[in-house]
Homo-oligomer: A and B are copies of this chain.
Amino acid sequence: MKLVFELSKQGRASALLPECDVPEALPDAAFRRAEAPALPEVAEVDLDRHYNGLADEAFGVCNGFYPLGSCTMKYNPRINEEVSALPGFSDIHPLQPEGTVQGALEAMATACDLLAEITGMDAVTLQPAAGAQGEFTGLLLIRAYHKAAGDDARTKIIVPDSAHGTNPATASMAGFDTVNVPSNESGGVDLEALRAAVGPDTAGLMLTNPNTLGLFDPNIIEICSIVHEAGGLCYYDGANLNPIMGIARPGDMGFDCVHLNLHKTFSTPHGGGGPGSGPVGCKAHLKDFLPAPIVEKRDGAYALVNPERSIGRMKSFYGNFGVAIRALAYILALGKDGIPEAARTAVLNANYLMSKLEDRYAIPFAGPCMHEFVMDIGPLKEETGASALDVAKRFLDFGMHPPTMYFPLIVHEALMVEPTETESRETLDAAAEAFLAIWDEAHDNAEALHNAPLTTRIGRPDEVRAARNPVVRWMPDARDFGGSDGAKR
């Protein structure tokens, strides 16, 4: 594929804007740029083909099975795209008078109520733009809570070693130190280690449950108690809510606040890496600290109000509204029966697929699993030389997206498989057959696997070269970017 810049010819353009119908009034030369930006000049027909070509080289849930562990790549219903694009939602200004956006505020309030019910929380904000920002918000709530209580000594956040990297990174952003606690042999939190870790410096615990091994921690209530008894708060990382939504609630487990990834659990599309949405829910004792503004109904009308002791604003306006509309549509469609049914089916599908693989592939922690399971490719690698990377890359040749690779870190050759509930038995069977075929190939000719994928337009890219000699932009001929060999026209 050519770069769009490589399609550019001087003077080409589409006729998009009219001539000026008022007297021209432009800024003084002092404010003007010296030369025009070297944006591409391409005719519409060639742009159209360019982006169709790029789309052909993208792979979405619409193209096939996507068992990317921890990412919950479920089907994105088309109706959600349709309703979120309604002009009444998509063409309203965030600073319109409240009286002219009552429907939008109603949608937000409804989404908050439904999410609060699903998580067992008392209040929800839609403002965080993604899970990571939700985590940051949650930790700022915890920080504000302790601060309001005059308790400045609580500087530490406890994080299990199986956690996503965002957890410790977020703790740092929020000014906390991270204390890692190890997993026990069943993959859950080591209670003794936790007891040893908590103390008067404990601000809180961040926990994903089911954890990144796909296991629900049976000690969850005790875990929360231990933290609470030490004076800390418990933060629920909602990345893995999908298998328990409508079945069990973080609030009832003892968590004080929670973030959700609407782009995972609530079926909003991932968009190639965003936009996501990371609403945060909290119990009543944290509600006054929520970021500003939140939606409330007052005297029969919805209004945006600032919580009393708000931690402030996390971003512009009210969050990724368009994403929230999609999630709202999803929850309204599923309703009280559909939500737990989706969760149960996610768990069933994961266990079904795992059962087809466990005779060949090592499953490091005993099941049943929840929505996902981790395979350890270590034994296969030792035996045949085929690594988790090799297995994943070969999986591409079967027209499916590989599982998450090399995560969680506590399993060195991990492949993390999350089928989600929106896959049929036929799809799961086809995936199992592919994995088993690869297992056979590893034993027959592991060398060949190192060259996988074989059927994609490009082979494995040289990532080391990319990082060592970064070429991160196209560069017009006339200029150059430092010492690097920028992509040239």
Stretch at the interface among A38-46, A353-361, A402-410: A38-46
> For residue A75, which residues in chain B have a CB less than 8 angstroms away from its CB?
44-45, 48
| Contact, CB under 8 Å: A78 / B46 | no
CA distance A61 to B45 in the complex (A): 9
Residue A448 is within 8 A (CB to CB) of chain B in the complex: no
CA distance A81 to B77 in the complex (A): 23
| Contact, CB under 8 Å: A44 / B77 | yes
Say which residue of B43, B48, B52 sits within 8 Å of A424 (CB atoms): B43
CA distance A436 to B49 in the complex (A): 24
| Contact, CB under 8 Å: A49 / B63 | yes
Mask of A64-82 contacts with B, CB within 8 angstroms, 1/0:
1000000000010110000
Residue A62 is within 8 A (CB to CB) of chain B in the complex: yes
> For residue A106, which residues in chain B have a CB less than 8 angstroms away from its CB?
none
| Contact, CB under 8 Å: B48 / A78 | yes
Residue A56 is within 8 A (CB to CB) of chain B in the complex: yes
CA distance A9 to B424 in the complex (A): 10
CA distance A422 to B63 in the complex (A): 31
Residue A148 is within 8 A (CB to CB) of chain B in the complex: no
Q: Which residue of B has the minimal Cβ distance to A63?
A: B52
Interface size on A, residues (CB 8 A): 21
| Contact, CB under 8 Å: A78 / B422 | no
| Contact, CB under 8 Å: A52 / B45 | no
Residue A301 is within 8 A (CB to CB) of chain B in the complex: no
Mask of A425-461 contacts with B, CB within 8 angstroms, 1/0:
0000000000000000000000000000000000000
CA distance A142 to B49 in the complex (A): 44
Residue A464 is within 8 A (CB to CB) of chain B in the complex: no
| Contact, CB under 8 Å: B424 / A46 | yes
Residue A25 is within 8 A (CB to CB) of chain B in the complex: no
| Contact, CB under 8 Å: B78 / A64 | no
Taking the nearest CB of chain B, how far is it from the CB of A87, in angstroms?
10
> For residue A113, which residues in chain B have a CB less than 8 angstroms away from its CB?
none
| Contact, CB under 8 Å: B333 / A15 | yes
What are 9 pairs between A and B in contact, CB < 8 Å? Answer: A44-B75, A45-B423, A45-B424, A46-B424, A48-B75, A49-B62, A49-B63, A49-B64, A52-B62
Q: With contacts A43-B422, A44-B77 known, what are 6 further pairs, Cβ within 8 A? A: A44-B78, A45-B423, A48-B75, A49-B63, A52-B62, A56-B56
Q: Across chains A and B, which 8 residue pairs bring their CB atoms closest together, nearest first?
A: A45-B75, A52-B62, A45-B422, A48-B62, A52-B63, A49-B62, A49-B64, A46-B424
